[in-house]
Structure 1
Amino acid sequence: MRLYLASTSPARRALLAQTGIEPVLVAPGVDEDAAVARVASALGRDLTGPELVAMLAVEKAAAVADGAVTVDGGPVDGFVFGGDSAFEVDGVLYGKPHDPAVARDRWRQMLAAGGGTLWSGHCVIDRRRALDPADGGPGGAWRAGTVPPVRRVDTPGGGPLGLAGSVTDVAPGGSGMVAADDRVVAVDSAVLTFADDMSPEEIDAYVATGEPLEVAGAFTIDGRAAAYITRIDGAPSAVVGLSLPVLRSMLLRGFGIAWHDLWASEPRGTVDIHT
């Protein structure tokens, strides 16, 4: 059974690979800034952390699941996963800094606050072409017993946010999950505490590596910044790029699929599409 990753993120692919899952990478081609601007305009306000990551996760997954994409000569056949992350400090959402000066400034702000909340959005869409009747068709078996609990809604509505609008009341350090039709959307979060003795010289040295420039929040827990993070309250994998426990729960509770059902026997490549 295939898992399509609507991303070319090496970190997300590595997370899945270390658990025995080798996803099919498909670049979703989503203009994230345009998507955020569109939804914020419709709402008449800025998006919260949970809203932002949930909405973009859905956008990315849908771009692959519902787009005109073929893999290995055929259409998508399996589950499509889209994810997004954002780091929040004192009510301010931090995306990718891109510029060294911006990264240094963000690190000074994060250290002054002592830490922040990493929001991780997830969306899984069922695009299996051949379904076992025992699976109950799209939407699966809706099994109970895993965490976080899933809340099923009748339609993927919710105004400009769509189904993502039903899973945005997550508190820092918490998680939530909703399902409708052929998809499940979840938000997980982790509260991070930074070292209280990090010097300006250490900030400059870290920024000079280039590592923080293209990652949400200007740091990576699986890289050089790990030494500067003293505590994580939540799933460590959520800080890297996706919450493995939550993804497992989405597949099990939303579709009746066990984690080991996705273990791969051989690696696959990357497919680029434009939407």
Structure 2
Amino acid sequence: MSGPRLCLASASPRRSELLASIGLNAITCAVDIDETPLPEEPPEALVIRLAEAKAVAASTCDACIGDAAQLPVLGADTVVVCDGRIFGKPRDRADGAWMLRQLSGRRHHVITGVAVNGPQGLVSLSVTTHITLRQLDSNEIDAYWATGEPLDKAGGFAIQGRGALFVSYLEGSHSAVVGLPLYETAQLLAYQGVELWTPAPQQAMP
């Protein structure tokens, strides 16, 4: 893999792994911002606002400034929405169990906002994926929490892990549920001049 071509405003290993899966090596620079929704703020507006705030905040990170120029900075945020209620990361075991009981057997939405701050300015978008979880019983919820997997996941479950056993239906971007919609992210990065394909080395003529 080539040297870093962008900065990721996140400490999420999942987002780093998703970028690596499409051949992009990113420097990471976690930023601490207030993720509290504004009064009556729609979830789509919330994730875009937070993604943009992360991308802008990380742009001043020393790690994101190369020898020649500032690297494009990517920020992202994901929330789960059910019946208009926004589910972030669970505060504790009781909160995580409550979230899963609310989502059990029901259709909900996972919304991820992505922003890239680069030569073309700040550009952003959001992607919505529709998911239905099968009916969950209390023993499953308790056992799942005991794995430690739900602790830092929006909605209290991870589709890239054992939480996938709960998902009976998905419509939309699987990678967006993990944390980064790759198709749309690639479009934003290409717009900012990030090369997604490197030319194959030319072989010398005999």
Q: Name the TM tier (shorter chain).
A: 0.7 to 0.9
Q: Does 1:215 align with 2:153?
A: yes
Instruction: Tell me the distance in 2 between the aligned counterparts of 1:73 and 1:204.
Output: 44
TM-score using structure 1 length: 0.66
Post-superposition shift, 1:72?
A: 8.3
Instruction: Tell me the distance in 2 between the aligned counterparts of 1:212 and 1:73.
Output: 34
Aligned equivalent of 1:121: 113
Aligned equivalent of 1:188: 127
Q: Is the 8 A contact 2:9 2:30 kept in 1?
A: yes
Q: Which amino acid aligns with 2:129?
A: A
Q: Which amino acid aligns with 1:220?
A: A
Aligned equivalent of 1:20: 23
Q: Does 1:49 align with 2:50?
A: no
Aligned equivalent of 1:93: 86
TM-score using structure 2 length: 0.87
Post-superposition shift, 1:71?
A: 2.3
Coordinate RMSD, CA, aligned: 1.9
Gaps of 5+ in 2: 199-206
Q: Is the 8 A contact 1:2 1:77 kept in 2?
A: no
Q: Does 1:260 align with 2:197?
A: yes
Aligned residues: 194
After TM superposition, list the pairs within 5 Å mapping 1:1-275 onto structure 2: 2-33=5-36, 36=37, 40=38, 45-65=39-59, 67=60, 69-71=61-63, 74=66, 77-112=70-105, 114-126=106-118, 138-139=119-120, 182-196=121-135, 198-252=136-190, 254-255=191-192, 257-260=194-197
Q: Is the 8 A contact 1:248 1:258 kept in 2?
A: no
Instruction: Tell me the distance in 2 between the aligned counterparts of 1:195 and 1:107.
Output: 11
Post-superposition shift, 1:241?
A: 0.5
Relative to 1, partners in 2 of residues 1:243 and 1:73: Cα closer, same or farther, differing over 3 Å? closer
Post-superposition shift, 1:57?
A: 0.1
Q: 1:114-137 deviations in whole A, cap 9, x for unaligned? A: 1210000010011xxxxxxxxxxx
Post-superposition shift, 1:31?
A: 3.0
Instruction: Tell me the distance in 2 between the aligned counterparts of 1:49 and 1:209.
Output: 29
Q: Which amino acid aligns with 2:62?
A: T
Percent identity at matched positions? 35
Post-superposition shift, 1:105?
A: 1.1
Gaps of 5+ in 1: 127-137, 140-181, 262-275
Q: 1:83-103 deviations in whole A, cap 9, x for unaligned? A: 000000111000011211111
Relative to 1, partners in 2 of residues 1:106 and 1:73: Cα closer, same or farther, differing over 3 Å? closer
Instruction: Tell me the distance in 2 between the aligned counterparts of 1:193 and 1:72.
Output: 38
The structure, 1 or 2, with the larger RCO (C-alpha pairs under 8 Å, 6+ apart) is 1
Deviates most, 205-214 or 50-59:
205-214
Relative to 1, partners in 2 of residues 1:103 and 1:255: Cα closer, same or farther, differing over 3 Å? same
Q: Secondary structure at the match of 1:50?
A: helix
Relative to 1, partners in 2 of residues 1:256 and 1:27: Cα closer, same or farther, differing over 3 Å? closer
Deviates most, 49-58 or 19-28:
19-28
Instruction: Tell me the distance in 2 between the aligned counterparts of 1:58 and 1:247.
Output: 13
